[in-house]
A and B are shown apart, each in its own frame.
Chain A
Amino acid sequence: MEIPYTVEARNDTGLYNAKVGIWLFLASEVMLFGALFSSYILLRVGADPGTWPHGLLNIPIGTFNTAVLITSSVTVVLSWAALQMRNFAKYRKFQAITIACALGFLGIKTFEYREKFGHYEVWLKNPITVKHGDKEVQTDRLLGHIEFQGTHPSFWSTATLAAKQVESFKFEPDPFHYTMTAREMAHAKKAAAGKPHEVIEIKSADVKRLSAFVPAHSTYFGIYFTLTALHALHVLGGALVIAYLWGPGAKMWKTEPERYINRVEVSGLFWHFVDLVWIFLFPVLYLL
Chain B
Amino acid sequence: MSWDSFFWYALSAVLLWAAGAFFAWKEKKMGAYFCTLAGIAVFFAFILGMWISLERPPLRTMGETRLWYSFFLPVAGIIVYSRWRYKWILSFSTLLSFVFICVNLFKPEIHTKSLMPALQSPWFAPHVIVYMFSYALLGAATVMAVYMLIRKEKTTEREVNLTDNLVYVGLAFLTFGMLFGALWAKEAWGTYWAWDPKETWAAATWLCYLVYVHLRKAKPAEWRAACVLLLVCFVCLQICWWGINYLPSAQGLSIHTYNVK
To the question of whether A and B form a pair in one complex, the answer is: no
